[in-house]
Chains A and B, each alone.
Chain A
Amino acid sequence: MTAKWTPKPSLPPPALEKGIGGWIYKNLFSSPGNAVLTLLGAALLLWAVPPVVRWALLDANWIGQSRSACDPLSADAPTGACWVFIKVRLGLFVYGFYPDPERWRVNIIFVVGALALWPLLAPTLFKHSRVQVVYSIAAVAVVLILFGAKPAGAALGFFGLPFLLARISLKKRLPTEAGGIKGIAPGAGLALLGALAVYGGLRWLLGPAPSGAIATLAALLCLPLIFAKPLSVMLWRGIFLFTVYPLFVFFMLVGGVLGLPHVETHYWGGLFLTLVVAGSGMVTALPIGILLALGRRSEMPVIKTLCVSFIEFVRGVPLVSVLFMASVMFPLFLPEDVNVDKLLRALVGITFFYAAYMAEVIRGGLQAIPKGQYEAAQALGWSYWKMMGLIILPQTLRLVIPGLANNFLSLLKDTTLVAVIGLLDLLGIAKAAMADVEWLGFTKEAYVFAAAVFWTFCFGLSRYSVHLEKKYHVRYR
């Protein structure tokens, strides 16, 4: 005989578990210890927050154009922060000593950079090609409104070419069935010819230096066209961001071409220098870090030794001394007449320094990938680089997002160290501004402003890394 089984009815949870009261009880006062901690925390907040808010917001002085607005000697002067100082000196904080009439050049690189970066950071929003097209038109319009026709023409090329290139495959056009060198030779030849034509065309427009660079770039951009299949628009956007955009930034900021006056790098400074150093540091350190990590795990003893010694050397010295070496020692090894720009030397120093750290983070991730993944890939016939690029590294990078985010954040903040070799980043400029005799006594405001700007960028970066983590960890293992 089997007994009949009826399930027990589901009851509602006890009242204490529900509602705001339940939440407060459960999370804040569930035990005497918890209650004490809650009260202590509340007291701490009450003690610390109001004065800060009063100083920074309520009692602060926002109005005025000069020092007299916040003069502590005048009777009606507010007792809080003097944001007039920041307002008046904002140009200095953002652009450093970059000459006033040329500051639009800094603006344009930021506007174009932000417009180009957005689709790559939020690819799900830009899945449909129609959205992409509309966005690109909007981007060109933004540049047109802000900066005029000529820059808009350049922007049209920058945002439009990815669509065109994404439809072209030289290998399909040129009937070459051959693989290897023979297969890519016609395409490569055509690319070379194209590059020469670009060079010839640009030479009398721009002068030899930029034409050479642009032609080389054009040739490089032709390389992906030799693949049998066209690459996607998104991929081309990425390629453009990492090849065309840096070149654009370089010629835009340095000038000396197309009638743009030359601006030496020692005029650069402020937030924009911080972002240039941090941005170029991040995008170059990561790939170098990946290569170093792979090299360290390589079975080839020479490569392995080189990578290990590089990493261990760099990790053993402080960044400040790397920067000093880059700025003071490095020129000693060069011939007298060769002069590498100080900013460039600092950039190289920071890049390699952080590449070493990222390499170790990535190596940690590589070690977490089971051996079976390599074996499965090899058994399917994958070669080393393809296997790494499509199977192992995508998994590794997903695993090490938190570690890499850490590195990126400290890189961003360590850009302040370029001050030791005389480059004035945001913090350096803030210090310089405090020393201004006209504005003595406003150090607090300057430091708080610099801190707030850094915090904003770091927090954004940190949220983005959390977003990536979430995006890649759903459904995954």
Chain B
Amino acid sequence: MPTHTDPSSTDSPKIIVISHLNKWFGEFHVLKDINLAVDKGEKLVICGPSGSGKSTLIRCINRLEKHQQGQIIVDGIELTNDVKHIDQVRREVGMLFQNFNLFPHMTVLENLTLSPVWIRKMPLKEARELAFHYLERVKIPELADKYPGQCSGGQQQRVAIARCLCMNPKVMLFDEPTSALDPEMIKEVLDVMIDLANSGMTMLCVTHEMGFARTVADRVVFMDGGEIVEENDPENFFNHPQSERTVLFLSQIISHEFKG
């Protein structure tokens, strides 16, 4: 079975390099001079208030959003208008969405095998084996023949994770993967994510799950108003925040967590 760490390509430890990234939606300046580099195997948690541009930032990394200025290099490939580069990058980068986005007209198994078969030209038999391997890893092999509409939210998100893994990505992007879920389901998804993190996957997570950030993250990035306000290791980020804005944000998050 495929492993996620590929020793042959460890020449540069930085798998994502973003420099002087600027993006506008019309007149609106969403991302302001973002500089960020991510090591191979690093787990990055991005947090910040609503509308701060977190989703936009990670969506730029696989070109679901187009940036206007600056440079994004993923595993040595620069993202430009060149379709070939975009394709290459998308093969290396998997993405998870807040509302799962499974293909509702196919069974779970078909959701998992479709992309390997059509994009990676894998024989169907091999693709099925791979699919079952990852379904077992996310602990729901019994759902293979169900339709997404018949699965709970937490199960759907785990299927989505398995679907990503079937494409053998080097980096995974998570855009608030648990925020559409009920509390009991959050844990089952987070468990899978923690397992993934322990296997050495490079992960960029936009999330408000501070517990997850504390245990898993190598680094926490705090964004506000389209800027990176602060980045630090979780220990210092939570216990000794540098910026006033971070302090305010953390106090709100933590008071919310206590209430909830």
Binding site for B on A (CB under 8 A): 228-229, 370, 372-373, 375-383, 386, 390-391, 394-395, 398, 472, 475-477
Contacts and interface: CB of A to CB of B under 8 A. Distances in A.
B87 A376 contact: no
A381 to B, nearest CB: 4
Contact of A476 (B90, B95, B149): B149
Interface in B115-140: 115, 118-119, 121, 123-124
A370 B105 CA distance: 13
Given A228-B121, A475-B150, A476-B147, A376 B91 contact: no
Contacts of B115: 380-382
Contacts of A395: 103-105
Contact of A372 (B91, B101, B105): B101
B16 to A, nearest CB: 15
Contact of B103 (A228, A383, A386, A391): A391
Nearest to A371: B101
Nearest to B163: A380
B205 interface: no
Interface residues of B, number: 29
Given A375-B97, A376-B97, A475-B147, A381 B105 contact: no
A375 B87 contact: no
Given A476-B147, A476-B149, A381 B101 contact: no
B95 A477 contact: no
A372 B118 CA distance: 20
B114 interface: yes
A381 B114 contact: no
23 contacts: A229-B123, A370-B101, A372-B97, A372-B99, A373-B103, A375-B95, A375-B101, A376-B101, A377-B103, A378-B90, A379-B64, A379-B94, A380-B90, A380-B119, A380-B167, A381-B167, A382-B115, A382-B119, A391-B114, A395-B103, A475-B150, A476-B147, A477-B149
B95 A379 contact: yes
B62 interface: yes
A383 B101 contact: no
In order of increasing CB-CB distance, the 3 nearest A-B pairs are A376-B101, A372-B101, A379-B95
A376 B105 contact: no
Contacts of B119: 380-382, 386
B62 A383 contact: no
Contacts of A398: 105
Contacts of B99: 372
Nearest to A380: B115
Interface in B35-79: 62, 64
Nearest to A389: B118
